Amino acid sequence: QGLSVFEVDGACSKEYCQRLCLLAKLFLHHKTLYHQVEPFRFYVLTKLGDGGGHHLVGYFSKEKESPKSYNVSCILVLPSYMRQGYGRLLIDLSYHLSQREGKVGSPERPLSDLGLVTYRAYWKSIILSHLGVLKASASGVPGGSLPVSINIKALSQQTSILMADLISTMQWLGILKYWRGNHIVLLNSTHSTKQPGNAARKATRTTTCIDEKALQWSPPEADEK
């Protein structure tokens, strides 16, 4: 689809990264940092235009060293490219980078209202995808409620999503229950990722996701060593 992602070091391309931050400030009212870009790396998503050249779609920034394990500091998709799946694509990339680093990550707080909606949708899809595999292999009455056993710590390590984010999303979905002294996940037909109401909306959105095999990236710290 003519999409590319470029990694830009704030210390090496200071002026360019400052301009990215100033651009984000036009659309993100809580955006305050735009001078000190040296501690950050920027991952810039572009799309080839009809006449050639890379057109900016959006970007996210990430601290080189985050004491709180944030894997996204600021994320922006330009208004002309919103609601086309590019925000999810950038989020998916941030977690793939965390996986390559062998870390568990989370976006920097506080999240904007739109940011929370986008992240919850992403976390929900990841959770339901993993639970769908478990549900398919379990026995039970078709269409009925079925307890599904899941190791949240293992899921966190596998997806690089912070355990607190997984738990809060499960609670938001209403699938995390306390039963007979244990926490269980109660999944039923209403929690399917193939809900009829979503089909039409999804058909109009970009379904691009990160291909792990095609991702040519290694942690910068590893390259320096």
Whether 125 and 193 have beta carbons less than 8 Å apart is answered as yes
Tell me, yes or no, if 108 is annotated catalytic. yes
Helix (H, G, I), strand (E, B) or coil at 137: helix
Q: Nearest CA to 97 among 37, 33, 161, 48?
A: 161
- The two structure tokens encoding residue 147: 């307890």
- Both tokens assigned to 22: 């100033």
Rounded Cα gap, residues 188 and 45, in angstroms: 37
**Angle between the 113-137 and 86-101 helix axes, to the nearest 10 degrees?**
70
95 closest CA partner among 168, 160, 166: 160
Q: Which residue in the list 108, 212, 221, 224 is annotated as catalytic?
A: 108
Q: Burial-class residue 30 by CB neighbours within 10 Å (0-12, 13-18, 19+).
A: exposed
CA distances from 30 to 39, 67, 73 (A): 19, 21, 12
DSSP 68-131: T-EEESEEEE-GGGTTSSHHHHHHHHHHHHHHHHT--BEEPSSPPHHHHHHHHHHHHHHHHHHH
Active site residues: 108
